[in-house]
A and B are shown apart, each in its own frame.
Chain A
Amino acid sequence: MTLDLEPNLSDPDGFYEALLKAHEGLSDKESVELNARLVLVLANQIGDPATLAAAIEAAK
């Protein structure tokens, strides 16, 4: 599996709205914690170590 940096979200605006909604009403600390958990959940979905390493590089 290689890291996909081409558009892949079928509903980008809907996803973005859902993401912001998840953070609504949270304190800054709570938001950071939510983001951390979300990253871990998504990482598990990807699974492949090489892809995850590439994703970390892409985000830096």
Chain B
Amino acid sequence: MTFQDRYPVALRLYPYRRSGDQDAATPVRHPVVIAGGGPTGLAAALDLGRKGHPVVVLDDHEGVGLGSRAICFSKRTLEIAHRLGPGPGLLEEGVIWQKGRVFRDRDEIYSFDLLPEEGHRYPAFINLSQVQFEKFLFEAIEHARAEGVEIEIRGGNRVDAIEATPDGTRIEVMTPEGAYNLEADWLIACDGARSPLRNMLGLGFKGRVFEDNFLIADVRMTADFPTERWFWFEPWFRSGDSALLHKQPDDIWRIDFQIGWDIDRDKELKEENILARVDAMLGEGVKYELVWSSIYTFQCRRMEKFRHGRVLFAGDSAHQVSPYGARGANSGVQDAENLAWKLDFVLRGLAPESFLDSYDAERIQAADENILNSTRSTDFLTPKSEISRTFRDAVLTLAARHSFARPLVNSGRLSVPCTYDGLPGFGPDMLGQPARSRPGAPAPDAPVDDRYLLDLLEGEFTLLGLGIEVPKETQVDGISVAGLALNDVSIGDMLRERYLGEASSAAYLIRPDQHVAARWREFDLDGVQMSVRNAVGKGDE
């Protein structure tokens, strides 16, 4: 097969360069190979590289694809990015927003405020183009490389075939200069919703396609619309059955129009037809420039399993959701974080290979939660029957008059990270409250002196002692658990409310991915040891 771009490249960050592997007599073996250099692949590479594992990233393109695609990055993603480096830069570059308005025709029927809770380093969401997000991750990788971290991104390297071997995968790679082979102990497939790797393994991707098309356009304009998410049902300007307007940095605005199922795709993508819809929305005399556009359908589907022996699927290759919920790129980054520390433990011999099944279980639970929310939103946006539309319209009519109907209006439920309730590897919960920091939950941020709690969790297991002493370090079968004891002086109101509630003391075991593993009222060495073993898949030993 010849070498051809599947999409235009916006930033040529990693042009093809010949690798020594291409001239090796026998295929060179790498501990970790990642297919795909999108948000998920780059986050996984950065995390694993920083943990000390050499990583090779194969991307069939030579940089970041054109178009904003994902624009909405959640607090949890920013917290992960903070641990990996680019968090502060993302926050500075992104547009912080918290307010959304929902209109029907000309009338505002509902508004929401994400009401950022005090005492978190990061806001609920920022808007930023995916191009910029990937660039920040790439720059963090470059930065890490300068400090000796072994991450190699090979642009213009397309995976053409894979073959499972007893202890890994043999990979056939095509480049502009021809094919070569390499081998991987572990292969992470972050190659997007159309995942060629998934197809190569003949694996299914089941779910629903919603019978509607959405025209998405990014325009550049200097406008004084507020930094809010504006959503219209049946908009007065008739550019679609629904429409969305949302601000990005650098005077770029994201616009979405719901344009129906039976459309002539090529016709709708003609510039004059896109401009006609945008003109109607923005009104006469507003100057703007069309930067990027595309048409997509809503799909909600996932693989049955994300782990296939030594091949692990993450991000859109494993699960796809409709937009309007900020659940795509954000869940991909959360997949990467969940996988990185687990694979690190397996590579270091601290956990059995079977531990990676917990990646499968936890991230499938997260994917199902995302698919559920996303499906409900899409069913509201795209009523699939007359009666669905009747109820939808009744909700919109009542919402304009009575507050009770407003929570039923669904123009997208914005993502929060999954709490891994009911899964093995967590517990015990000997504290019983507060609910938000129960085992399985992502540890809520809170101020500690002049810093934040999440800053103090440094990527290993942490035993957090609140109002009690905990050992500075505990060893459990070679796993190091860092102790972090905070006394009453350091425990502010917010930390108290989020972690202690009515209790006067607590000990929290927190995983490297900042999810709570277990909690107690007092320090209990036997309990901690048992919970650490349980948390790394050695609960039965």
Contact = CB atoms under 8 A, between A and B. Distances in A.
Contacts of A39: none
Contacts of A58: 398, 401-402
B376 A16 contact: yes
B387 A12 contact: no
Nearest to B408: A12
Contacts of B387: 20, 23, 26, 28, 31
A7 B388 contact: no
Q: Interface SS of chain B: helix, strand, loop or mixed?
A: helix
B391 interface: yes
Given A13-B373, A28-B387, A7 B403 contact: yes
Given A13-B413, A23-B385, A6 B376 contact: no
A16 B380 contact: yes
Contacts of A26: 387
Interface residues of A, number: 20
Nearest to A4: B404
A4 B385 CA distance: 30
A45 interface: no
B42 to A, nearest CB: 33
Contacts of A19: 391
Nearest to B401: A58
Interface in A6-26: 6-9, 12-13, 15-17, 19-20, 23-24, 26
A60 B467 CA distance: 58
Contacts of B342: none
B234 interface: no
Interface in B369-399: 373, 376, 379-380, 385-388, 391, 395, 398
Given A19-B391, A59-B398, 12 more contacts: A5-B404, A6-B403, A7-B406, A9-B404, A9-B408, A13-B408, A15-B408, A16-B408, A17-B379, A20-B387, A20-B391, A58-B401
Interface of A: 4-9, 12-13, 15-17, 19-20, 23-24, 26, 28, 31, 58-59
